[in-house]
């Protein structure tokens, strides 16, 4: 309290800046118009949505190695007979850290989908419009979310068959997406 | 309900919208507005401050925002100071944490404030921040953000229950109409008749611009007091009678049925049981209409209508003034905008002002006694609910 009072007293001798009547900004001041992004700079590290994929950054290297071979895989807890998604380092049910790797089916069916026609995050503006969807894998109790390529969004249908594929992303990394085939 | 009883004794909001101001300036503005709105509040009596802020690191390049907000507002907390982050429900989290601190005896008088500055010169940068709400490493690479997720909810609801775009527009039209009696709403004095809403551009099919809440800058604050000190505030009060919360999943692979929200059912029944009332006892509700379809699913999950009947419920005016229950008289997130950390608190301010009878007559619920506030966060994976009752004494 005393510190504050001292500060207040010291300020009394300072010259007052005269008011400029045209400058004051009321609480509801009109805001500047949003600018369109002109140049697309690469997003800085950790503004990139792709996860770390090497031993230096993750314990799930096997997932990405297998994906590089074109196969989608995940972890499974044998004790609980529980298939995980995304792949894990510890089972959420029994908390064991001893998990096995299994390959997932490479086909599935669209359960729901939409498309991003506006409002894409940085690094994805050039992809607009793009479709995303939830896919029920054939023969595995998993419904995965992902990008859906291979057909314009307005030609997709619920129930359409999709194939899982891997594709290269920045810095030699890989990720998975779906391709509509039926 | 254990512990001391807690009341909201006043509150305020700033103007919501695209604001030419900084995060810190918004905190000062809400501090000034709060002390004006609650003249019985003395800064030295506020022992605790809870700051709802969803993503200041990304949107204002600022961490450790709780002491920053305290300084901006002229408050020096002596008991509890902390930020609460729960994405779109960060504001209600601040209120629930303040409630818990007061009920337990740790705090006597607390302020819950929410501040969010979301509009940046680059919309892509703001969209990037919003995308981090999802499972960034696994759902993020596909381009997961809220609009395509809730678009899939709408698609499934249309498929399973024959819900129509017109019914979704009815939600948006109602909430924008209420927002026209709320000068602090982002879309104050902007009319959105249904035919206009149905012509707006598609953002994420089937959702159009008018089905989506917007990027909003704004702040809101409420004062909470224990029953032991409440006589300091002789005015009207909104007593917290119940609260519930449920966290279901995070990765979108675990969303289950998109059209039933069991987490909301569970959080709401917990809150209503705590208050010892049923959903039909509610006079109005502030529901989380981040998208028009959300409000429709929420009617059903709350049991205001049968599953699948949400579209008809709004179309028939049953969530409007004069209906079964008034939903979102403040103007909702669709009409007011959605500054994440401030939203849940602005809803509580509306409850207080409705109970006090101080809102414009165009949106005043007649003689309300019970109100429910709901926030979802992320992909509707977490639901947070509070139940308030009007009354002068505990
Ligand atoms: Zn296990």
CA A131 to CA B301: how far, in whole Å? 28
pLDDT tens per residue, range B6-62: 999 999 999 999 999 999 999 999 999 999 999 999 999 999 999 999 999 999 999
Contacts of B124 in chain A (CB under 8 A): 37, 120-122, 125
Catalytic residue among B157, B161, B338, B374: B338
- Domains of chain B are 6-122+215-238 (3.40.47.10), 130-213+241-390 (3.40.47.10)
CA B33 to CA B111: how far, in whole Å? 13
Chain B interface, mutation test: which of A49, A152, A166, most B Cβ atoms within 10 Å?
A49
Answer whether residue A118 is part of any domain: yes
Answer whether residue A18 is part of any domain: no
Q: Given a cut of 50, is residue B240 above it in pLDDT?
A: yes
Chain-wide mean pLDDT for chain B? 97
Q: What is the ipTM of this complex?
A: 0.96
Ligand 1 geometric centre to CA of A51 (Å): 24
What was the pLDDT predicted at A1? 45
Chain B residue with Cα closest to A38: B122
pLDDT tens per residue, range B376-394: 999 999 999 999 999 977 7
Cis before A86? omega within 30: yes
Chain B residue with Cα closest to A87: B138
pLDDT over 90, % of chain B = 97
The count of domains in chain A is 1
Task: Using alpha carbons, list the distances in angstroms from residue B99 to A116, B37, B112, B369.
Answer: 39, 21, 9, 20
What was the pLDDT predicted at A27? 61
Q: Given a cut of 50, is residue B196 above it in pLDDT?
A: yes
pLDDT tens per residue, range B285-340: 999 999 999 999 999 999 999 999 999 999 999 999 999 999 999 999 999 999 99
- Please confirm, yes or no, whether B254 is among the known catalytic residues: no
Average pLDDT over residues B229-252: 97
The answer to whether residues B7 and B230 touch, using CB atoms and an 8 Å cutoff, is yes
Answer whether residue A76 is part of any domain: yes
Domain with A111, as residue range(s), is 61-180
Chain B residue with Cα closest to A149: B142
Task: Enter the pTM of the model.
Answer: 0.94
- The DSSP annotation for A121-173 comes to PTT-GGG-SEEEEEEEETTSS-EEEEEEESS-GGG--TT-EEEEEEEEEGGGE
Place of tokens 């249908």: A157
Answer whether residue A107 is part of any domain: yes
Token pair of A49 as six digits: 């949505």
What was the pLDDT predicted at B160? 98
Contact B135 A142 (CB under 8 A): no
Average pLDDT over residues B103-112: 98
Ligand 1 geometric centre to CA of A102 (Å): 15
- Please confirm, yes or no, whether B374 is among the known catalytic residues: no
Average pLDDT over residues B98-123: 97
Place of tokens 């979301």: B118
Answer whether residue A86 is part of any domain: yes
Contact B141 A49 (CB under 8 A): yes
Cβ-nearest to B258 among A112, A117, A125: A112
Pairing relation of β-strands A173-180 and A143-149? parallel
Answer whether residue A165 is part of any domain: yes
Give the closest-approach CA distance of B126 to chain A in angstroms. 8
What was the pLDDT predicted at B362? 97
CA B56 to CA B68: how far, in whole Å? 12
pLDDT over 70, % of chain B = 100
Token pair of B311 as six digits: 């579209």
What was the pLDDT predicted at B394? 77
The pLDDT confidence band at residue B276, using thresholds 50, 70 and 90, is very high
List, as ranges, residues with CB under 5 A of the ion ligand 1.
Answer: A 77, 80, 91, 93-94
Q: Provide the strand spans (E) within B160-235.
A: 202-204, 207-208, 218-226
Compare B107 and A13 and report the one with higher pLDDT: B107
Contact A49 B15 (CB under 8 A): no
Task: Give average pLDDT by consecutive 10-residue segment, chain A, 182 residues.
Answer: 55 82 59 56 66 93 97 98 98 98 98 96 91 98 98 98 94 94 89
Nearest to B203 by CA among A150, A129, A126: A129
Average pLDDT over residues B194-203: 97
Answer whether residue A109 is part of any domain: yes
Answer whether residue A135 is part of any domain: yes
């Amino acid at each position: 309290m005393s510190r504050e009072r001292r500060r207040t007293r010291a300020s009394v001798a300072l010259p007052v800046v005269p008011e400029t009547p045209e400058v004051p900004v009321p609480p509801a001041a009109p805001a500047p118009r949003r600018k369109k992004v002109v140049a697309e700079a690469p997003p800085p590290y950790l503004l990139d949505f792709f996860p770390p994929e090497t031993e230096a950054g993750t314990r799930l290297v096997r997932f990405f190695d297998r994906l590089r071979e074109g196969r989608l895989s995940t972890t499974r807890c044998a004790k609980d007979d529980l298939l995980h998604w995304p792949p894990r380092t510890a089972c959420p049910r029994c908390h064991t850290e001893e998990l096995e790797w299994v390959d997932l089916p490479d086909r599935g069916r669209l359960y729901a989908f939409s498309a991003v026609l506006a409002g894409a995050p940085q690094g994805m503006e050039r992809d607009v419009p793009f479709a995303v969807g939830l896919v029920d894998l054939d023969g595995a109790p998993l419904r995965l979310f992902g990008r859906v390529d291979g057909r314009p969004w307005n030609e997709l249908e619920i129930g359409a068959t999709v194939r899982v594929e891997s594709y290269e992303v920045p810095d030699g990394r890989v990720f998975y997406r779906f391709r509509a085939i039926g | 309900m254990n512990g001391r009883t807690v009341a909201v004794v006043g509150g305020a909001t700033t103007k919501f919208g695209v604001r030419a101001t900084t995060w810190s300036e918004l905190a000062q503005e809400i501090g000034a507005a709060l002390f004006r709105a609650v003249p019985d509040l003395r800064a030295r009596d506020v022992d605790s401050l809870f700051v709802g802020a969803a993503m200041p690191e990304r949107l204002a390049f600022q961490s450790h925002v709780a002491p920053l907000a305290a300084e901006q507002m002229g408050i020096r907390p002596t008991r509890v100071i902390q930020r609460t982050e729960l994405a779109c429900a960060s504001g209600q989290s601040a209120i629930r944490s303040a409630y818990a601190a007061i009920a337990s005896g740790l705090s006597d008088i607390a302020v819950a404030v929410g501040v969010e500055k979301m509009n940046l010169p680059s919309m892509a940068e703001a969209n990037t921040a919003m995308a981090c709400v999802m499972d960034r490493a696994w759902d993020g690479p596909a381009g997961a953000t809220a609009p395509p997720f809730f678009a899939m909810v709408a698609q499934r609801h249309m498929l399973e229950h024959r819900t129509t775009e017109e019914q979704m527009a009815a939600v948006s039209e109602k909430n924008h109409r209420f927002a026209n009696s709320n000068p602090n709403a982002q879309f104050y004095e902007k009319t959105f008749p249904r035919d206009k809403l149905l012509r707006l551009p598609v953002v994420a099919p089937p959702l159009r611009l008018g089905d989506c809440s917007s990027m909003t800058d704004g702040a809101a604050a409420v004062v909470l007091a224990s029953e032991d000190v409440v006589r300091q505030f002789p005015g009207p009060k909104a007593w917290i009678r119940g609260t519930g919360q449920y966290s279901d999943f995070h990765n979108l692979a675990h969303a289950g049925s998109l059209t039933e929200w069991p987490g909301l059912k569970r959080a709401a029944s917990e809150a209503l049981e705590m208050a010892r009332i049923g959903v039909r006892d509610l006079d109005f509700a502030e529901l989380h209409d981040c998208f028009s379809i959300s409000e429709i699913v929420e009617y059903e999950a709350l049991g205001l209508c049968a599953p699948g009947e949400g579209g008809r419920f709004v179309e028939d005016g049953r969530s409007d003034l004069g209906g079964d229950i008034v939903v979102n008289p403040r103007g909702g997130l669709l009409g007011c905008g959605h500054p994440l950390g401030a939203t849940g608190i602005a809803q509580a301010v509306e409850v207080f002002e409705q109970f006090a009878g101080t809102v414009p007559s165009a949106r005043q619920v007649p003689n309300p006694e019970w109100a429910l506030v709901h926030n979802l966060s992320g992909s509707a994976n977490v639901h947070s609910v509070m139940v308030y009752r009007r009354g002068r004494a505990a």
